[in-house]
Structure 1
């Protein structure tokens, strides 16, 4: 898809500024990397005429500082160190670049299906993906720090969802710092940035804490007696949303594993007594709210009754097959950018199928704080 004229104008202007002082992209990269590194590839993406990426607003301020002086400075100057004429040039150039950027943002808002990646395209700030910790009994021996082949990721649950989310967020925010942490590793510094929380309350205690803090979200996740390996969802009106199982016909009851074995492999729900079952439909929670620890940042919750629901929530906004349609639906349905959705996640041959939000049957429950205010 061709870029918008607004995006091309900003990209062309950034390139013109660089070439006006006969600088290479590497020169600009070095000058802008005083505090946080900016890769040459990032500079190139901002100048691209075919697929321009939108720079964060604070980077445009750095551009204005850099090109406010008549010659290339050894390092990015501070505004207070500029002369009177240089400060005037800086103010004018900064205003011009911000206006060009605002034009791009307005165009994107008017055409939500243009790029198809808005929910995880952040303006600024650090991004932390919080992933649940796998139960110790179910971990690989390589999760042990004393093992010479120790691999830290073996401590993580919902790895499918983490890898999918990690790659997408990194690609959408090449200039921002993206980290992944276990709940036990989360600090106050992490909580003050953008948060993406994966997984249910059983394996991710932080999710449960945040759901208690985020009282505005009318969706709760809770344990029930008839499910041992997952937690269902309950909306404020009392309705419950549960997975769908189907009885398997080709497995003999006497082949049933012991209860201890089922507990060990987290598969108790796959047997109804001595009857084996197949999961054919999970439930996913996808929610975007203001971060309760820093209202200028966001928190995104991707959860499920089981891990396939978690992956379905993530892939709703990362899967190329449906991402643009889902982003367009969210932009139209929830213009404030704050929402909560419970989605149907079909499971076919053990694989989660990405929910298409345009299909009404895939949307179990929808919530927006704007509608509560009406």
Structure 2
């Protein structure tokens, strides 16, 4: 899809500012890298007229500080060090660049495209993905620190969802710091930024803790006696949302022992000696203000089982439905705060990404605007 005229105008303006001072992209990247290093490829992406990336607003401020100073220095100056004439040029240029960027944001909001994910296009701040940890008795030996071939990622559960989300968020936010952490590694510094919580309450204690803090979200996850390996969802009106199992068509001679099923986290796949097949999971996808820093957000991607977690993540990363799903969220939840419970079909063991335009896939919807009506 061709870039919008608004995006091309900003890209050309940034390129012209650099060219007017006969700076190479490498020289400009060095000049802008006072606090956070900027790669030459990033400068190139901002200037691209075929596939321009949107710079964070604070980067446009750095452009205005640099090119509003006469002569242009080798590093971005501090605003308090500007002369009156330089300050006037800085303010004029800053307003121009911000207005160009605002035009792009307005165009994106009114007409989302498949080239970006606006839900995961963050303006600023650190982004931390918090992923559950596999219990030790179900972990590969390569996830043990005393193993010479120790690989930390073997300690992570929901790896499919983590890798999918990690790649998408990194691509959408090339200038922001994106990291992933296990719940035991989370610090106050992580909690003050944008948080993306992957996985349920059993193995992700941060998700469990925050779901208790987020009182306005009318959805809770809880354990029930008839499910050993997953937790169902319950809405505030008392309705419960559960996965769907069917008796497996594949013959199985000997049922595993209870100890074997517990070690494999697969107890729900059997009822007595009858093997069962998961055909439908339930996913929670929610976006709320971060209760520890209201200028940042919390995104919850959760499920009864891992198929639901992956379905929640792929709602806005799967390019076959992402554009439609982004458009649905923008229209249905213009305030950007919402909670969704979705049906995730499982076919041949694979989670099918929910298409939000299909009403049957939307099990429960909430936004603060709904409660205000």
Partners of 1:370 and 1:318 in 2: CA distance: 26
Contact 1:116 1:325 in 2 (8 A): no
Aligned residue-pair number: 373
Contact (CA 8 Å) 1:108, 1:114: kept in 2 or not?
A: no
Distance in 2 between residues matched to 1:114 and 1:311, nearest whole Å: 20
Counterpart Cα distance in 1 of 2:248 and 2:85: 78
Contact 1:183/1:206 (<8 A) preserved: yes
Report deviation, 1:101: 0.7
Q: Which residue of 2 aligns with 1:317?
A: 316
Partner of 2:172: 172
Measured against aligned partners, the alpha-carbon deviations of 1:268-295 in whole angstroms (never above 9, x if no partner) come to 0000111000001100000000000100
Matched-pair contact (CA < 8 Å) for 2:269–2:277: yes
| SS of equivalent residue, structure 1 residue 300 | strand
Name the residue aligned to 1:367.
Answer: 366
- Misfit runs of 4+, over 4 Å: none
Alpha-carbon contact 2:116-2:172 (below 8 Å) kept: no
Work out whether residues 116 and 323 of structure 1, in 8 Å CA contact, stay in contact via their aligned partners in 2: no
Matches within 5 A, 1:217-296: 217-252=217-252, 254-296=253-295
Report SS of the residue matched to 2:251.
coil
* Structure 2 spans left out of the alignment, 5+ residues: none
Query: For 1:47 and 1:74, how far apart are their aligned partners in 2?
Result: 20
**1:88/1:250 Cα in 2 relative to 1: closer, same or farther (>3 Å)?**
closer
Please give the secondary structure, in 2, of the residue aligned with 1:112.
coil
- Give yes or no for contact 2:114–2:319 (8 Å, CA) kept in 1: no
Q: Secondary structure at the match of 2:320?
A: coil
Look up the SS of the partner of 1:201 in the other structure.
Answer: coil
| Equivalent in the alignment of 1:130 | 130
**Residue 114 of structure 1: CA displacement?**
6.2
Match of 1:349 in 2: 348
2:86 matches 1:86:
yes
Cα 1:11–1:349 shift into 2, 3 Å: same
Displacement of 1:116 in angstroms is 4.5
Indicate the SS of the match to 2:312.
helix
1:74 deviation in Å? 2.3
CA contact 1:290–1:338 (8 Å) conserved in 2: yes
TM-score, normalised relative to structure 2: 0.98
In structure 2, the residue matched to 1:332 is: 331
1:259 offset after TM fit, Å? 0.4
Cα distance, 1:309 vs structure 2: 0.3
1:112 is displaced (CA, Å) by 2.7
Distance 1:340 1:211 in 2: 12
Deviating more after overlay: 140-149 vs 279-288? 140-149
Q: In the aligned structure 2, how far is the partner of 1:270 from the partner of 1:117?
A: 35
Q: 2:310 & 2:36 partners in 1: Cα distance?
A: 32
1:43 is aligned to: 43
Residue of structure 1 equivalent to 2:65: 65
